[in-house]
Amino acid sequence: MDFEFTKEEKALQEEVRKFIKKESTPEMLKETEEMGDIYGAPEGRKIIQKMAAKGWLTPTWPKEYGGLGLSDVASYMIREEMGYHGLPFGFIAAHMAGPTILRFGSDDMKKKWLPRIASGELEFALGYTEPQAGSDLSALNLRAEDKGDYFLLNGNKLFNTSCHIADCHWLACRTDFTVAKHKGVSMMIVDLNSPGITISPMVTMAGWQTNEVVYEDVHVPKDRLVGEKNKGFYYLMAALDFERMFPLGRYRRVFDEVVEYTKETILDGKPLSKDPLIRQKLAQLSTEIEVTRLLYYQLAHILDKGGIPNYQSSMEKTFATECAQRIVNVGMDILGLYGQLKEDSKWSQLKGKVEKFYRTSIVETIYAGTSEIQRNIIAQRGLGLPR
Amino acid sequence: MDYDLNEEQELLKKAAKGFLSKECKPLFVREMEEDPQGITPELWQKMAELGWMGLIFPEEYGGIGGSYLDLMVLLVEMGYSCLPGPFFSTVILGGMTLMEAGNEEKKQELLAGIAEGKIFVTLALTEATAGYSPERIAVKAEKDADNFVINGTKLFVPDAHLANYIICVARTKEGGNKEDGITLFLVDAKSQGVVITPLKTFAGDKLNEVVFNNVKVPERNILGELDKGWSIMKKVIQKAAIAKCAEMVGGGQRALELTIEQVTEREQFGVKVGSFQAIQHHCANILTYLETSRLMTHQAAWRISEGLPCEKEIAMTKAWVTDSCRSLLALAHQAVGGTGFMEEHDLQLYFRRTKAAGVYFGDADFHREALADVMGL
């Protein structure tokens, strides 16, 4: 048993921190917050491509595809650091599409796409959800007709967040309507600049944008098909296991700032941090953050042992996202009336960060499978309860 | 990072599980709750022969030289089986205090006896003010020629009725700093003036009131240094807190199994109860409480074993496991329903024990407050 990083991992952590400190700009930090931590906007691309050049975007990948062949623990650690220090950390290409291509893609596809993903040159947008296909992804209906040397695409996608800043759509579509729902789905990579694609913004209460995407007679060349036709649902499920990891870094940072605030803010002659109720709440959150850390690195440990996290991913995602909500809720309680003030108010505290993350935190327990779906998975896969 | 037990620990776990499933059945647990001794000499001797009592003592004192993590593996299984008896008091409270504070002579004399299952030692720490901070130590020991004379009442002393020796935590100096002036005395339980009265407890474990009436203890029976006993006690309390976490994790594991058995067998409205989403979500929460409690306990025990700084992790762990396992048991009862409320059902055994373990060596609030200090709040 060993719950610490190796010497090499600790050294790498130091190096990553130094790099981020040196390369971060106020513009990048602001942009990342406005984007909701996703990758693809101009300032983010500048710093992430520099990171990627060191192999830090895809550290577990083989060297020939732009990786470093490092452990998953190292990779998880880097992502946690990125979140904590305000860098984008939601990567569709590097963390979901890439690993799927690595496992299921042809050699040609690997050579064509992986190095460009590893360098941060290309970002994908996730194209799963549709108006009628949220938690039940097998209900997706975007139609892809096989026209010989290309597919012809028609239909709608919803809540496809990165579409307005990404290069390609990591698209799940239906290639066969005659078989059982999950047997007729295919995955393909679609250039988001293709004629016939219309992206309409949907602005969230957190301030950042997600999108509705309409496909009208869009042509997709055959070599953009990932793996085999009609096997897409299987790839998609495998990729979801990568997505269901949730690094808490961004919220951990908010927590640390709230803790500092309670030490520095004097009320009735003593710091807020001396209030027994506040002490209890902060100690509880600090404990939950530690619990999350253990769950998070457990996933990396399972991967490093050659396994695939199963219900453990759902457990981590659920625990971490609910913990995130508790962090900002306590933060709002501690700030009290001040918590309502937006960043540019004269009296706002902690640059309005707490209210901003309070708004954001609501979606964390919804996307990538709601907490209810995750608990079904924990019960069914983790405990063998009947479906 | 490595989250797994090593091979030897896996073997120990398997062996302990096998032994306890035969020797410590739920009926036996119930009998021992009623039994004034709380253990049979036969079972105690068998456990001693397996080397359990000496697991963490160095070989020169008749032990096996195992780590604290090894001990935790055993404690999880003990919690799983609701093992009654004085293992916790003798090995952890008595044995570990002696290991930390006993001189060579005392260690030679007593640890081998504990390891052989022949000597019982317990710790008289808490008092009527019931708590684990140094301010709460009021029982007095005053110097009188070659002896110290102890006066006062200790409460919640585990297994004092069996003990050959009671380690009494007494105040030897009054003054500003409450941590200073606390001394540990090794008291022969047969000493004149020691009066032991059993307390009836809701978890069926054997706690006692121990009254010290002018009890004379020779100066050579001081463990550690005069007035400096609290630093030792602090360590013992921390390790004991994690030991209780391990027991709760074991009990939580059994509670989960009992729940899954029930919800996969019982049908309502023509389907298995376990197919209802409300029940599945309860079960998912139970598993999450259990696995996070296990991870936290493993980490804290590992840090203790490695001699790493662990004050923060211990406080977090006891706070987390106490609350989580309490919630876990409540959810288990909710899923199992009325059957689990019956005396014949085992779930109630774990429900009671988990709460008792939760308040022992600091409840969640106590440890969160300790953590707040570590965080510099």
Query: What is the per-residue pLDDT across B332-362, written as a single tens digit (0 to 9) for each?
Result: 999 999 999 999 999 999 999 999 999 999 9
Among the listed residues A243, A316, A355, A364, the single catalytic one is A243
Contact B280 A315 (CB under 8 A): no
Query: Where does the pLDDT of residue A238 fall: very low under 50, low under 70, confident under 90, or very high at 90 and above?
Result: confident
What tens digit of pLDDT does each residue of B181-226 get? Answer: 999 999 999 999 999 999 999 999 999 999 999 999 999 999 999 9
**Mean pLDDT, to the nearest integer, of B19-42?**
97
Residue B375: which of A4, A283, A291 has the nearest Cβ?
Answer: A283
For B336, phi then psi, to 5°, come to -75, -35
pLDDT at A228: 95
**Mean pLDDT, to the nearest integer, of B53-79?**
96
pLDDT at B373: 97
Cβ atoms of residues B147 and B154 within 8 Å: no
Cβ contacts (< 8 Å) between B368 and chain A: which residues? 279-280, 283-284, 287
**Mean pLDDT, to the nearest integer, of A329-341?**
97
pLDDT at A387: 87
Contact B284 A378 (CB under 8 A): yes
B246 at interface of A, judged by CB pairs closer than 8 A:
no
Contact B281 A298 (CB under 8 A): no
Rounded CA separation A154/A236 (Å): 20
Chain A residue with CA closest to B320: the answer is A287
B4 at interface of A, judged by CB pairs closer than 8 A:
yes
pLDDT at B134: 95
Contact B283 A279 (CB under 8 A): no
B128 at interface of A, judged by CB pairs closer than 8 A:
no
- How far away is chain A from the Cα of B217, in angstroms, using its nearest Cα? 41
Is the pLDDT assigned to residue A129 strictly greater than 90? yes
Cβ contacts (< 8 Å) between B316 and chain A: which residues? 286-287, 290
What ipTM does this complex have?
0.94
- How far away is chain B from the Cα of A277, in angstroms, using its nearest Cα? 10
What tens digit of pLDDT does each residue of B216-228 get? Answer: 999 999 999 999 9
B177 at interface of A, judged by CB pairs closer than 8 A:
no
Residue linked to tokens 């102890």: B150
Cβ contacts (< 8 Å) between B290 and chain A: which residues? none
For testing contact with chain A, the best of B1, B68, B76, B303 (most A CBs within 10 A):
B1
Is the pLDDT assigned to residue A371 strictly greater than 80? yes
Residue pairs between chains A and B whose CB atoms are closer than 8 Å: 136
pLDDT at B176: 83
Cβ contacts (< 8 Å) between A282 and chain B: which residues? 372, 375, 377
Cβ contacts (< 8 Å) between B295 and chain A: which residues? 291, 294-295, 298
Query: Where does the pLDDT of residue A240 fall: very low under 50, low under 70, confident under 90, or very high at 90 and above?
Result: confident
**Mean pLDDT, to the nearest integer, of A142-160?**
96
SS (H, E, C) chain A: CECCCCHHHHHHHHHHHHHHHHHCCHHHHHHHHHHCCECCCHHHHHHHHHHHHCCCCCCCCCHHHCCCCCCHHHHHHHHHHHHHCCCCCECHHHHHHHHHHHHHCCHHHHHHHHHHHHCCCCCEEEECCECCECCCHHHCCCEEEECCCEEEEEEEEECCHHHHCCCEEEEEEECCCCCCHHHCEEEEEEECCCCCEEEEEEECCCCCEEEEEEEEEEEEEHHHEECCCCEHHHHHHHHHHHHCCCCCHHHHHHHHHHHHHHHHCEECCEEHHHCHHHHHHHHHHHHHHHHHHHHHHHHHHHHHCCCCCCHHHHHHHHHHHHHHHHHHHHHHHHHHHHHHCCCCCCCCCHHHHHHHHHHHHHHHCCCCCCHHHHHHHHHHHHHCCCC
**Mean pLDDT, to the nearest integer, of A320-344?**
97
Is the pLDDT assigned to residue B178 strictly greater than 80? yes
B285 at interface of A, judged by CB pairs closer than 8 A:
yes
pTM for the full model? Answer: 0.96
Chain B residue with CA closest to A275: the answer is B377
Question: For all residues of chain B together, what is the average pLDDT?
Answer: 97
What tens digit of pLDDT does each residue of B278-300 get? Answer: 999 999 999 999 999 999 999 99
Contact B313 A290 (CB under 8 A): yes
pLDDT at B175: 83
Cβ atoms of residues B95 and B114 within 8 Å: yes
Residue A198, burial from CB neighbour count under 10 angstroms (0-12, 13-18, 19+): exposed
What tens digit of pLDDT does each residue of B306-333 get? Answer: 999 999 999 999 999 999 999 999 999 9
What tens digit of pLDDT does each residue of A186-223 get? Answer: 999 999 999 999 999 999 999 999 999 999 999 999 99
Contact B295 A294 (CB under 8 A): yes
CA dihedral angle for residue B247, residue B249, residue B252, residue B257, rounded to 10 degrees = -110
Q: Which of A295, A375, A320 is nearest to B284 (CA)?
A: A375
pLDDT at A133: 87
Contact A297 B291 (CB under 8 A): no
Is the pLDDT assigned to residue A365 strictly greater than 90? yes
Chain B residue with CA closest to A316: the answer is B288
Evaluated on CA atoms A100, A102, A107, A112, the torsion sign reads positive
Chain B residue with CA closest to A288: the answer is B320
pLDDT at B147: 95
What tens digit of pLDDT does each residue of B101-131 get? Answer: 999 999 999 999 999 999 999 999 999 999 9
Cβ contacts (< 8 Å) between A321 and chain B: which residues? none
Is the pLDDT assigned to residue A23 strictly greater than 80? yes
Contact B368 A374 (CB under 8 A): no
Cβ contacts (< 8 Å) between B260 and chain A: which residues? 383-385
Chain B residue with CA closest to A256: the answer is B375
Is the pLDDT assigned to residue A303 strictly greater than 80? yes
Query: Where does the pLDDT of residue A242 fall: very low under 50, low under 70, confident under 90, or very high at 90 and above?
Result: low
- Calculate what percentage of chain B has a pLDDT beyond 70: 100
Q: Which of B206, B214, B207 is nearest to B154 (CA)?
A: B207
Beta bridge pairs of residue B198:
B208
Q: Which of B275, B299, B285 is nearest to B252 (CA)?
A: B285
Chain B residue with CA closest to A295: the answer is B292
Question: For all residues of chain A together, what is the average pLDDT?
Answer: 95
pLDDT at A57: 97
Beta bridge pairs of residue A212:
A158, A200
> Does A243 qualify as catalytic in the annotation?
yes
What tens digit of pLDDT does each residue of B263-281 get? Answer: 999 999 999 999 999 999 9
**Mean pLDDT, to the nearest integer, of B58-83?**
96
Query: Where does the pLDDT of residue A243 fall: very low under 50, low under 70, confident under 90, or very high at 90 and above?
Result: low
What tens digit of pLDDT does each residue of A153-194 get? Answer: 999 999 999 999 999 999 999 999 999 999 999 999 999 999
